Amino acid sequence: MDSASLITRLAGFFDTQIAAPAWLVGGAVRDALLGRELQDVDIAVAGDAHPVGRAVADFVGGTAVPLPEWNIVRVALPGAGENNRPFLIDISGHAGSIEDDLRSRDFTVDAMGVPLRCWDSDERFDAIVDPLNGRADLARRVLRAGGDDVFAADPGRMLRAVRLAQQVGLRMEPDTARLIRRNAHLLTQVSPERVRDEFMTILAGDGARPQLEVLDRLDLLCRVVPELEATRDCQQPRSHHYWDVWGHLLHCVEYAEEVTAGHRNNAIYTMAPWTAKGDAYFSEIIGDGHTRRTVLKLAALLHDIAKPQTRDADADGRVRFLGHSEEGAEVVQRRLSCLRMSRRITDLVSAMVLHHLRPSQLRHGSDMPSARAIFRYYRDVGDAAVDTLYLAMADVLAARGPELSPERWGNYAKMIAAVLEAGAEQPGNRNDNPPLINGHDLMDALDLPPGPRIGSLLERLREAEAVGEISSREDAMKLAARLVNEGEQS
């Protein structure tokens, strides 16, 4: 059932079962005025929201989650669609009039209400109650705070302001921006889960780099990721474009978005390897409701996070960042744990940061990487292997910037494409092929005891199969026997 039909059902339910005035408020009214598909639904009622919320949950077959601090009951319906996101119905109670309730809301464009019984009427927009002139702001595409205290009352609204402006296409009104900067220090009062969800939703949208710059101008970005502050004015080696580490990280987010957006007319992006499988891969939901594409952008933002503390210059003035990948992976683990990120996302980003230099180290000179190097890359990087290849492309683009020649970029993209193709084809990297022999085979045929030696032999055999040294059970057993004999002789 679509959201419009659901609202029609709810209107009938309130009219016959609740017999009390109910108002459709907030984003649903805003989106209806814009002709956008309705997302979640907010309904305002007089008095206590809890009995009404439980009745609505029973009616629609959802789960009622009371939020007593706000006199709200959130009704969650099972997820559907590509991201399997649950559909939310918020039932909020108010003590005064509907006008008083709307004046207390965060932004003027969300401070409009329509009587629920008028939803299916041709005159529904004529019945809008709009005490803060939100309709006029919406027409001008302006995001304006509903009052001077909205962010102090709920500091989480500051991140929501950036996210809402991005999603709806609104320009933040200058006084609202000043209010956010004045209250930015209050962001520490917001639950990590809410900060995480708002920040990741901002990162998920198109044009993530400009949105990160907006967060920075509002003094919010380094309150979400404090470790970023030290990257300002941290200068890079001469091999990089003129961006410092801060600028490099923001541009890497931009390029991570571009190389996973499919081929476009820009020659730079059409050189990047891309297939329908790649689109499906980066559209996969892997944790907290977010895709691999969004998580890749997060890794791009954090991949050089430890460069400031590892920066050193030798006697010749050459700048180096020894160990920044390893230390950066540890920083990622700590920061994403603080943000209550899922274990899978935390480990995936940490792995990408740890291994982000590996793809560029796979080949020597102009030679393509060997089958053995590719096998070991996939073996070591695991679930993050494909993602790290795309992070490496974004890193190269952000390192050289406009100085990167099409020829050099084309050669690099061709190398990445070869690694992607070879990795998919190597027998040792495919999950659909059983191993040629297993540990019991080795113990029985070679009279070996169980232990770490069996695992080492199996790993060596998988590598040999991947690089084409063996292709049958007989080949595998002969190689295993030779390796055991060589080991005993040494």
Residue 1: inside a domain: yes
Residue 330: inside a domain: yes
Which tens digits make up the pLDDT trace of 184-234?
999 999 999 999 999 999 999 999 999 999 999 999 999 999 999 999 988
Is 164 found in the same domain as 125? no
Q: Which of 443, 445, 434 is nearest to 474 (CA)?
A: 445
Boundary-marking domain end, from 190, 224, 258 = 224
Single-letter amino acid, residue 400:
R
Is 406 found in the same domain as 268? yes
Give φ, ψ of 272 to 5 degrees. Answer: -70, 135
Is 298 found in the same domain as 393? yes
Boundary-marking domain end, from 192, 224, 256 = 224
Is 182 found in the same domain as 70? no
| Residue-level pLDDT at 383 | 93
Is 384 found in the same domain as 261? yes
Boundary-marking domain end, from 107, 133, 159 = 133
Q: In sequence order, what are the beta bridge partners of 287? A: 290
Q: Who contacts 380 (Cβ-Cβ below 8 Å, separation ≥6)?
A: 355, 358
CA atoms within 13 A on the CB side of 67: 12
β-bridge pairing 85-94 and 41-46: parallel
| Residue-level pLDDT at 83 | 54
Structural domain including 186 reads 141-224
Is 371 found in the same domain as 352? yes
Q: What is the rounded distance in angstroms from the CA atom of residue 90 to the CA atom of residue 49?
A: 9
Residue burial 397-407, b: 16+ Cβ < 10 Å; e: rest? bbbbeeebeee
Q: What is the rounded distance in angstroms from the CA atom of residue 324 to the CA atom of residue 457?
A: 33
Is 382 found in the same domain as 251? yes
Is 257 found in the same domain as 377? yes
* Prediction pTM value: 0.87
| Residue-level pLDDT at 81 | 46
Residue 232: inside a domain: no
| Residue-level pLDDT at 323 | 92
Those residues of the chain that have pLDDT short of 70 are 1, 79-85, 239-241, 263-267, 315, 365-366, 426-433, 487-490
Single-letter amino acid, residue 436:
L
User: What's the gap between Cα 382 and its chain centre?
Assistant: 19
Q: Who contacts 478 (Cβ-Cβ below 8 Å, separation ≥6)?
A: none
Q: Which of 119, 97, 108, 94 is nearest to 24 (CA)?
A: 119
Assign residue 40 the CATH number of its domain: 3.30.460.10
- Contact between residue 385 and residue 426 where contact means Cβ atoms under 8 Å apart: no
Using DSSP, state whether 350 is helix, strand or coil.
Answer: helix
Q: What is the rounded distance in angstroms from the CA atom of residue 281 to the CA atom of residue 274?
A: 11
User: What six digits make up the tokens of 40?
Assistant: 């979640």
Secondary structure letter of residue 17 according to DSSP: I
Is 217 found in the same domain as 347? no
SS (H, E, C) 62-99: CEEEEEHHHCEEEEEEEEECCCCEEEEEEEEEECCCHH
Residue with the two structure tokens 């910037």: 401
Residue burial 355-391, b: 16+ Cβ < 10 Å; e: rest? bbebbeebbeeeeebebebbbbbbbebeebbbbbbbb
Is 58 found in the same domain as 194? no
How far apart, in Å, do the first and last CA atoms of the chain sit? Answer: 71
Structural domains in the chain (count): 4
